[in-house]
Amino acid sequence: MSEPSRRARVLVVDDSRFHREFARQVLQDEADVECCEDAEQALRVLEREPADLVLSDLNMPGLSGLELLGRVQREYPGTDFVLITAYASVNSAVEALRRGATDYLQKPVRAEDLILVVERTLSRRRLLREVWGFAEPDRIETRTVDMHIARLRKKLDAGGDALIETVRGEGYRFVG
């Protein structure tokens, strides 16, 4: 029997009240949204109740968004993380993704772009939970899973057959 579905929980971290409220308004139909004005407050909120997704500004007083990303990865593995910044550059985007960010957005963020990134991220989480049967996706290495899913899609798009065998609690194997 599958577990009852619950609304996803998104934590928005930005020192700008305008950007926090914008994200809350845009995402209120997609998820339960909580907002924090800095990384330290976000860590206290996560300690009380973990989130599925953290949307964080890159440049904030105190801990930066990249520093928050590192802490979230260590303390709350499996939490997706999207960095948002007004000071976007190719180098900062590459660094964010290299450090494990799920995605990267440039301010000003359009409502449709924010919804798209959040829907895509949360859909990926649901898919991982459904396919692998885990209550929470932090029990698996998502980058490895993404690699296998891409390989499987490529094979299926080419008209081939594929089989994935799973052994609950032990993992899976891709049978070419």
Q: Say if residue 147 is in the same domain as residue 120.
A: no
Q: Say if residue 106 is in the same domain as residue 147.
A: no
Burial class of residue 158 (count of CB atoms within 10 Å of its CB; 0-12, 13-18, 19+): exposed
Higher pLDDT, 75 or 158: 75
- pLDDT at 1 exceeding the cut of 60: no
Q: CA-CA distance, 85 to 106, in Å (whole number)? A: 5
- pLDDT at 151 exceeding the cut of 70: no
Burial class of residue 33 (count of CB atoms within 10 Å of its CB; 0-12, 13-18, 19+): buried
Q: Which amino acid is at 174?
A: F
Higher pLDDT, 82 or 156: 82
Cis peptide bond upstream of 4, omega within 30: no
Q: Residue 1 falls within a domain, yes or no?
A: no
User: Model-level pTM greater than 0.75?
Assistant: no
Per-residue pLDDT reduced to its tens digit, 68-114:
999 999 999 889 999 998 876 777 777 888 888 889 898 999 999 99
Q: In the chain, pLDDT over 70 holds for what percent of residues?
A: 69
Q: Say if residue 146 is in the same domain as residue 127.
A: no
Question: Which of 55-59, 129-133, 141-145 has the lowest average pLDDT?
Answer: 141-145
- What H or E segment, with its residue span, contains residue 125? helix 111-132
Q: CA-CA distance, 37 to 84, in Å (whole number)? A: 14
Q: Give the number of other Cβ atoms within 10 Å of residue 69's Cβ.
A: 24
The model's confidence at residue 170, banded by pLDDT at 50, 70 and 90, is: very low
Q: Residue 152 falls within a domain, yes or no?
A: yes
Higher pLDDT, 13 or 125: 13
pLDDT at 95: 80
The model's confidence at residue 117, banded by pLDDT at 50, 70 and 90, is: very high
Q: Which amino acid is at 155?
A: K
Per-residue pLDDT reduced to its tens digit, 14-28:
999 999 999 999 999
Q: Say if residue 149 is in the same domain as residue 116.
A: no
Q: What is the token pair recorded at 29?
A: 């139909």
The model's confidence at residue 12, banded by pLDDT at 50, 70 and 90, is: very high
Q: What is the token pair recorded at 140?
A: 């698996």
Structural domain harbouring 104? 9-133
Please name which of 75, 26, 81 lies closest in space to residue 48, comparing C-alpha atoms.
75
The total number of structural domains that make up the chain: 2
- Quote the mean pLDDT of the chain: 81
